[in-house]
Amino acid sequence: MNQKSGVLITGASRGIGRACALLLAGHGFHIFLNSAHHIEALEEVRREILSIPGGSCELCPGDVGNPDQVRKIFATIASSEHTDGGLDILINNAGISHIGLLSDMTDEEWSRLIATNLSSAFYCCREAIPHMVSKKSGKILNVSSMWGRSGASCEAAYSASKAGIQGLTQALAKELAPSNIQVNAIAFGVIDTDMNRMLDAEERRALAEEIPAGYFASPEEAARMIWNTLNAPAYMTGQIIGFDGGFL
158 is catalytic: yes
Exposure on the CB side of residue 56, measured as CA atoms within 13 A:
15
**In whole angstroms, how large is the CA radius of gyration of the chain?**
17
The C-alpha atoms of residue 192 and residue 179 are separated, in whole angstroms, by: 36
Q: Is the dihedral of CA 62, 67, 68, 70 positive or negative?
A: positive
Residue 130: Cβ-neighbour burial (10 angstroms; 0-12, 13-18, 19+): exposed
Catalytic residue among 123, 158, 215, 235: 158
Contacts of 197 (CB under 8 A, 6+ apart): none
Question: Closest Cα to residue 29, out of 72, 76, 75, 91?
Answer: 91
Catalytically annotated residues: 158
